[in-house]
């Protein structure tokens, strides 16, 4: 093939090979050790064995509220044959009993109080009866019974935590108990993130044409902060050889590790590898056998580490998970990665690339004892949608085709509450109001994928619940379920809503002809949405009227390629003056005080997977649809109407 001479990746390594190589160098770097008060040590790694400073407990103490006795005195005590002892006094926690107890006597004692000398057992209060200074004992307690004896938890000098252990909340409690006020830990490294790229500007500043907000540093900083690293961010700096060198030089002065983002993808303006090759020992890893994330560099400048991360968000995320975080953990003194990896089963067939490990952002779902991974498919530039992923799964290097149901490893991006209900389907402002109430009580994750996307995800088993409005054969939703022969679902009738043209208040739009003739800026909806289907339908009709092809019409419509994923976003953009006209429900038109021309009444229904009927969020949605208060809510939503079967099951399979 026609390989460009600009591609200069050499000796690509797997992430494991790259880390092994890097760790050979990093392992020799002396680690910084600091002493911290225990309350600041959570999550840090011990740089010393920690020993108990005292015996724990440091005296024999009672484990219960009761009476300290001589076990031999009560050897015959029983339910119907109590032994009577003379009460000589009381001792509370924090005190010492001053007298000497004699045989036949006892001392009332509180939990945690020192055992009076020389008694040898404690009878719990529930097995006693006290009248004046006489105590009846109804149960025999053996010598040592209910006594927590000196050093039984730890003796002075005993190692209670090992060098290399990560400090937990439990250990901090143990340190305090054992008189340890400070511990030596490996100092988490200081990291400077340098963002590089002429196209980048800082978020919050104004965005000039061709520029984008720098966002990778925020994501990487958040991930690093979970490892307790001290993170500083510099940039964005331009693609300029000297400037890059200067900033990395300065950052190396102040940090243990420098992570650059961007400038590694070997284009002619990518200077990072040129700069990094100037340090000694210089670049040790240049390129990984992974997709995406291949253009990752590891370099060294003396004892300092430099990691060059790619600038594409998903590449940057994967290189951060696989390379940067393990290196920072290594410097932090952790022996083994604390990154959460899990085994998952793939929901659908996936394509890999021989010679590369392929990484795929996925949504996870628990089914029985298995966790099923559903790939989220999108360009590597899509960071907003990437934030919806739960995990990144790996397709191995030797695999070009992975059948559905394959067991693979995945890196968890977040904690997941598997009790959550996954809603995927069409966007609707009224449904959003319902889900808002549900979210107060039950975990739910929402993806607006359009009606077709919702239907597909119910079939695949990813979604528990969907909202759809698909017109076919003169009826909404039921015909398509029958045609596709979808099993194990119920369809619950939702409600009726008005769809129409939404437009700026100062114009009027009644057809696509109006839009084309007046050069109005249109805002489209995403493919697979019921509203997009309506738009395509309307264009076919317009084409018939005008005699032009549908393709030609689409080219004539300004903004036809700009797709919003919700009714709300369509109205918002018109309201903001970004577009002049779109198609959506009356409710959002009125909300933003825009013009509205009704096209049709349509029905929005709720499709539920039968296996999910017990989920809290699903039950809540059904409850709300059938509640009298929903009749009230819908009245405050212009353009919405109750259907005679609202809340009823209208289809089951």
Site for a copy of itself in 582-641 (CB under 8 A): none
Site string for a copy of itself, 185-224 (x = CB under 8 A): ------------xxxx--xx--x-xxxxxxxxxxx-xxx-
Structure tokens at 458: 């119910």
Structure tokens at 543: 């084409």
Q: In the complex, what is the shortest distance from the CB of residue 444 to a copy of itself, in angstroms, rounded to a whole number?
A: 9
Out of 247, 502, 523, 607, point to the residue binding a copy of itself (CB under 8 A): 523
348 near a copy of itself (CB under 8 A) = no
Q: In the complex, what is the shortest distance from the CB of residue 644 to a copy of itself, in angstroms, rounded to a whole number?
A: 32
Site string for a copy of itself, 382-401 (x = CB under 8 A): xxxxxxxx------------
Out of 121, 413, 534, 618, point to the residue binding a copy of itself (CB under 8 A): 413
Q: In the complex, what is the shortest distance from the CB of residue 560 to a copy of itself, in angstroms, rounded to a whole number?
A: 11
Window contacting a copy of itself (CB under 8 A); options: 376-384, 500-508, 604-612, 618-626: 376-384
Out of 12, 36, 54, 642, point to the residue binding a copy of itself (CB under 8 A): 54
Q: Residue 213 pairs with which residues in a beta bridge? A: 201
Out of 179, 375, 479, 638, point to the residue binding a copy of itself (CB under 8 A): 179
**Closest to a copy of itself by CB, 440 or 644:** 440
Sign of the torsion formed by the C-alpha atoms of 69, 71, 75 and 79: positive
Out of 12, 29, 34, 155, point to the residue binding a copy of itself (CB under 8 A): 155
Window contacting a copy of itself (CB under 8 A); options: 51-59, 459-467, 508-516, 606-614: 51-59
Q: Are 222 and 263 in contact (CB under 8 A)?
A: no
Q: Which one-letter DSSP state was computed for residue 594? A: -
Whether the bond between 26 and the residue before it is cis, its omega within 30 degrees of 0, is no
C-alpha distances (whole Å) from 615 to each of 420, 449, 611 are: 8, 21, 9
Say how many Å lie between the first and final Cα of the chain, rounded. 52
The H or E element that residue 274 is part of is: helix 272-276
**Closest to a copy of itself by CB, 386 or 535:** 386
* Count of residues touching a copy of itself (by CB under 8 A): 143
Q: In the complex, what is the shortest distance from the CB of residue 545 to a copy of itself, in angstroms, rounded to a whole number?
A: 26
**Closest to a copy of itself by CB, 568 or 603:** 568
29 near a copy of itself (CB under 8 A) = no
Query: 135: Cβ–Cβ under 8 A, 6 or more apart, which residues?
Result: 67, 84, 85, 86, 87, 106, 108, 128, 129
Q: In the complex, what is the shortest distance from the CB of residue 387 to a copy of itself, in angstroms, rounded to a whole number?
A: 4
Helices (H), 484-529: 512-517
Cα–Cα–Cα angle for 335, 264, 223, rounded to 5 degrees: 40
**Closest to a copy of itself by CB, 142 or 207:** 207
- Cβ atoms < 10 Å from Cβ of 403: 10
Q: In the complex, what is the shortest distance from the CB of residue 210 to a copy of itself, in angstroms, rounded to a whole number?
A: 5
Out of 20, 35, 39, 475, point to the residue binding a copy of itself (CB under 8 A): 39
The most distant pair of C-alpha atoms in the chain lies apart, rounded to whole Å, by: 114
DSSP strands (E only) in 328-439: 341-346, 350-351, 357-367, 370-375, 391-395, 401-402, 407-412, 421-425
414 near a copy of itself (CB under 8 A) = yes
**Closest to a copy of itself by CB, 109 or 520:** 109
> By CB under 8 A, what part of segment 66-125 binds a copy of itself?
92-96, 110-114, 125
Q: Are 36 and 119 in contact (CB under 8 A)?
A: no
Window contacting a copy of itself (CB under 8 A); options: 10-18, 183-191, 301-309, 441-449: 441-449
| Distance from chain centroid for Cα 466 | 22
Q: Are 445 and 512 in contact (CB under 8 A)?
A: no
SS3 163: coil
Q: In the complex, what is the shortest distance from the CB of residue 333 to a copy of itself, in angstroms, rounded to a whole number?
A: 10
Q: Are 502 and 568 in contact (CB under 8 A)?
A: no
| Distance from chain centroid for Cα 452 | 26
């Amino acid at each position: 093939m026609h390989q460009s001479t600009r591609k200069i990746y050499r000796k690509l390594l797997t992430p494991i090979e790259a880390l092994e190589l890097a760790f050979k160098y990093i392992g020799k770097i002396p680690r910084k050790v600091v002493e911290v008060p225990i309350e600041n040590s959570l999550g840090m790694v011990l740089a010393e064995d920690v020993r108990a400073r005292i015996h724990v407990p440091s005296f024999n103490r009672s484990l219960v509220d009761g009476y300290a006795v001589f076990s031999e005195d009560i050897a015959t005590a029983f339910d119907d044959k109590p032994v009577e002892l003379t009460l000589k006094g009381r001792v509370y926690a924090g005190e010492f009993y001053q007298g000497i107890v004699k045989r036949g006597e006892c001392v009332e004692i509180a939990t945690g109080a020192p055992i009076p000398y020389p008694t040898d057992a404690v009878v719990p209060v529930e097995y006693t009866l006290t009248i004046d200074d006489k105590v009846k004992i109804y149960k025999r307690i053996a010598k040592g019974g209910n006594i927590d004896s000196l050093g039984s938890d730890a003796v002075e000098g005993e190692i209670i935590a090992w060098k290399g252990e990560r400090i937990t909340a439990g250990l901090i409690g143990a340190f305090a108990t054992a008189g340890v006020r400070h511990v030596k830990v490996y100092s988490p490294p200081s990291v400077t993130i340098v963002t590089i790229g002429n196209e980048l500007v800082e978020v919050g500043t104004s965005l000039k044409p061709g520029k984008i907000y720098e966002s990778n540093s925020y994501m990487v900083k958040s991930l690093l902060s979970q490892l307790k690293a001290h993170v500083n961010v510099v940039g964005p700096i331009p693609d300029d050889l000297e400037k890059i060198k200067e900033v990395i030089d300065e950052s190396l002065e102040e940090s243990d590790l420098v992570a650059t983002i961007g400038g590694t993808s070997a284009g002619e303006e990518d200077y990072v590898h040129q700069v990094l090759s100037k340090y000694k020992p210089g670049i040790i890893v240049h390129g990984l056998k992974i997709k995406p994330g291949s253009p990752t560099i590891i370099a060294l400048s003396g004892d300092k580490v430099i990691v060059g991360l790619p600038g594409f968000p998903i590449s940057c995320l994967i290189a951060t998970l696989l390379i940067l975080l393990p290196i920072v953990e290594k410097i932090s003194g952790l022996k083994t990665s604390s990154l959460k990896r899990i085994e998952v089963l793939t929901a659908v067939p996936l394509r890999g690339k021989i010679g590369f490990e392929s990484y795929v952002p996925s949504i996870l779902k628990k089914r029985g004892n298995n966790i099923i991974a559903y790939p989220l498919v999108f360009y590597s530039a899509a960071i907003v949608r990437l934030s919806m992923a739960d995990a990144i799964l790996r397709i191995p290097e030797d695999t070009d085709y992975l059948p559905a149901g394959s067991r693979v490893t995945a890196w968890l991006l977040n904690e997941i509450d598997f009790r959550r209900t996954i809603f995927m389907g069409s966007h609707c402002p009224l449904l959003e109001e319902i889900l808002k109430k549900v979210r107060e009580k039950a975990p739910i994750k929402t993806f607006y994928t359009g009606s077709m996307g919702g239907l597909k995800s119910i079939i695949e088993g990813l979604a528990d619940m969907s909202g759809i409005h698909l017109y076919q054969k003169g009826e909404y939703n039921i015909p398509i379920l029958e045609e596709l022969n979808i099993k194990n679902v119920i369809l619950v009738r939702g409600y009726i809503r008005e769809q129409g043209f939404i437009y700026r208040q100062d114009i009027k739009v009644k057809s696509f002809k109006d839009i084309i003739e007046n050069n109005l800026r249109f805002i489209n909806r995403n493919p697979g949405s019921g509203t997009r289907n309506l738009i395509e339908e309307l264009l076919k009709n317009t084409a018939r009227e005008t005699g032009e092809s549908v393709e030609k019409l689409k080219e004539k419509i300004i903004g036809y390629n700009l797709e919003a994923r919700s009714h709300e976003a369509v109205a918002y953009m018109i309201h903001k003056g970004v577009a002049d006209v779109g198609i959506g429900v009356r409710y959002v038109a009125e909300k933003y005080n825009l013009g509205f021309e009704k096209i049709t009444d349509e029905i929005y229904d709720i499709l539920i997977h039968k296996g999910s009927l017990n989920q809290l969020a699903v039950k809540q949605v059904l409850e709300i649809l059938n509640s009298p208060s929903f009749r009230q809510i819908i009245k405050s939503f212009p353009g919405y109407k109750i259907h005679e079967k609202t809340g009823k099951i209208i289809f089951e399979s």
